Structure formats: C-alpha cells, structure tokens
Structure 1
Amino acid sequence: MQSAIDFEQLVNSIGDAIIMSDAGGSITVWNPAAERMFGFTSGEALGKSLDLIIPERLRGRHWDGYHKTMATGETRYGNDVLRVPAWHKDGRPLSIAFTVALLHSPQNELTGIVAVIRDETSRFQEDRLLRKRLAELEASTSA
C-alpha cells in the first residue's frame, strides 16, 4: 500500500537542519531545525546567501566548491560527511556535519543543493579535550 508523502511535513518535523539553496547559493528552504541550530528564523534566512552561516575565512573555499559543483553536476559530499565550522546568529562558532544532494529540474538541469546538517559542536569539543588529555599523558610518560 502506497501513501502520498507530505514533503513539507517531513522537512519541518525532522530533527536535522535542512537547508536548500538555488544555483546561485540563495537559501530557498530553512526548516525549524535550522532555526534552532543557527538562530536565524526562516524569514531572516530565506533569500539570503549561505554566507549567513559560513565563517568569513572559509567563504572563498566554500564558493569555489559550490560553483564547481554547479558547473560539473558532481559532488563528493552526497555520501561522505563533511565536517566544517559554521556560525550561529549570536556569533558563537558551531561545528557541523552534513551531506548534500543535488537538485534537478524536470529537464534534468541542476537547480540547487539540499544539505542535511547536524550540530556536532559538543562532540567536537569533547574530542578536542580528549586529544589534549592524551597528549598530556603521553608527554608525562616520556619525561
């Protein structure tokens, strides 16, 4: 038995942030989880550049990759998780992990990208503390 899927309900109820952007990098979908994660309401995010959440020092690299993906129709982050820094509206740094999918028109033209994003800030900070502690222990045993 098949039932119709209400994609809007799915996007709005899922716990991970879902952000869609058009070919130029303007945000077209910003779900409630994205609001919670990044602090911007959908009204503040829709129509804006992805620069809203990308740290300034990483924007050049991001846009080089974004435009290359739009030109070639290929991305390696459909299956591989990308972990990068991001920004919250209040200015605090975030560590996010995400995968992307390419969006196509009925004529199979590449029209944009959707990212499914998880906040890994706490995990990243815990890993950093564990690595620091391990280095301290290794240094104390070799002294």
Structure 2
Amino acid sequence: MQATIDFKQLVEAVGDAVVASDASGAITLWNPAAQRMFGFTEKEALGQSLDIIIPQRQQQRHWDGYQKTMATGQTKYGNDVLRVPAVHKDGHGLSIAFTVALLYTPDKKVSAIVAVIRDETTRFAEDRNLRKRLMELESQLAPPASAP
C-alpha cells in the first residue's frame, strides 16, 4: 500500500528554505525555513520580488539568468548547486547554496521556478578562515627570496 504524500506539509516541514516565484519573479511560495533564513514572514514575502533577498550588486546578473531560464526552459542549476550571496531582512549578508526546479504550464512554458536553499554562511566563513590560515602557513614555509 502506497502512502499519499501531503506536499504542503512536506514543504512546510523541510529544513531547507523552499521559495517559488512566478514568471515575473514575484514570490509565490515561502516556507517556514525561508522565514527563519531570510527574516521575512510569509505574509511579507508573498507577492514581493526576489530582490528582497538578492544583494543589489547581484540583481542584474540574477535577472539576466532568470529571464533566460524563463525563456528557454533550461537551467544547469537543477543538478548543479549554485552558491551566491543573499541578504537577510535586517541587512546582514548570507552565503546560500541552492538548486532549482522548473514548473511548467500544460503547453510546456515555464510558469515558476522553485529554489531549495541552504544557508552556508557559517561553512563559507570557516572555509575562508581555513584558506587564509593555509596561505599564512605556506608563506612561512616558502624559502626566502634571494637578494639580487
């Protein structure tokens, strides 16, 4: 006997943020994990542009890619993880990683993009500190430059 899955309950229960947006980039789905991650309540986020979580310096690049995906129905981020900066409601920066899924109309046009997002801010900072420490150690091991 196969159990039926309550997809609304699934999206609300999952620990990663799930954010969906329509063809224009307006948010149509915002789960509790998205609220924890970005600080906006579902009521505040629904109907808003994705710009509420995209740093201003990244917005043009984001929208270029978004519009291309909407037009072509293709994205490499269905399988490949995209790592980008994001912004919290209070203005502090985040490092996020996500994959996307495309939803289609019956006539095969992209109707929405759904992102499953993980906050990697802590891991990103730890990696940056480790790389910095490694560079410091390597510089201590490097032979001194010979004088001319």
Instruction: Give TM-score scaled by structure 1 length.
Output: 0.98
Distance in 2 separating the partners of 1:51 and 1:63: 9
- Residue 123 in structure 1 maps to residue 99 in structure 2: no
4+ aligned runs moved over 4 Å, structure 1: none
1:31-69: CA deviation from partner (whole Å, max 9, x where unpaired): 000000000000110000000000000000000000000
Match of 2:81 in 1: 81
CA apart distance, 1:107: 3.0
Number of aligned residue pairs: give it.
143
CA apart distance, 1:109: 2.2
- Matched AA of 1:121: T
Deviates more, 1:127-136 or 1:107-116: 107-116
Distance in 1 separating the partners of 2:134 and 2:35: 36
Match of 1:61 in 2: 61
Distance in 2 separating the partners of 1:112 and 1:77: 14
RMSD over aligned Cα atoms: 0.8
- SS state of the match for residue 11, structure 1? helix
Name stretches of at least 5 consecutive residues in structure 2 with no aligned partner: none
Bigger radius of gyration: 2
- Matched AA of 2:95: S
Instruction: Give TM-score scaled by structure 2 length.
Output: 0.94
